[in-house]
Amino acid sequence: MNEKELILDAMRKAGEPLNAGRVAELTGLDRKAVDKAFAVMKKEGSIVSPVRCKWEPAEK
């Protein structure tokens, strides 16, 4: 499972919008790696922000 899949999986399991720090805690990934993945995922449209600084998968 790559970083993006790991992040999306953690977001789906949480069932609520998460910030990068919380995603890092849940996945065990480094915070900088999560930030980089978020940047790519935002451009791809695979994550959306319903609340400032918190993200969730685009399709639930």
Domain ranges of the chain: 3-54
Distance separating alpha carbons of residues 36 and 14, to the nearest angstrom: 20
Tokens representing 59 are 């399709």
Per-residue tokens: 12? 């789906």
List, for residues 3-60, the tens digit of each pLDDT value.
999 999 999 999 999 999 999 999 999 999 999 999 999 999 999 999 999 999 998 5
C-alpha to C-alpha distance for 30 and 59, rounded to whole angstroms: 25
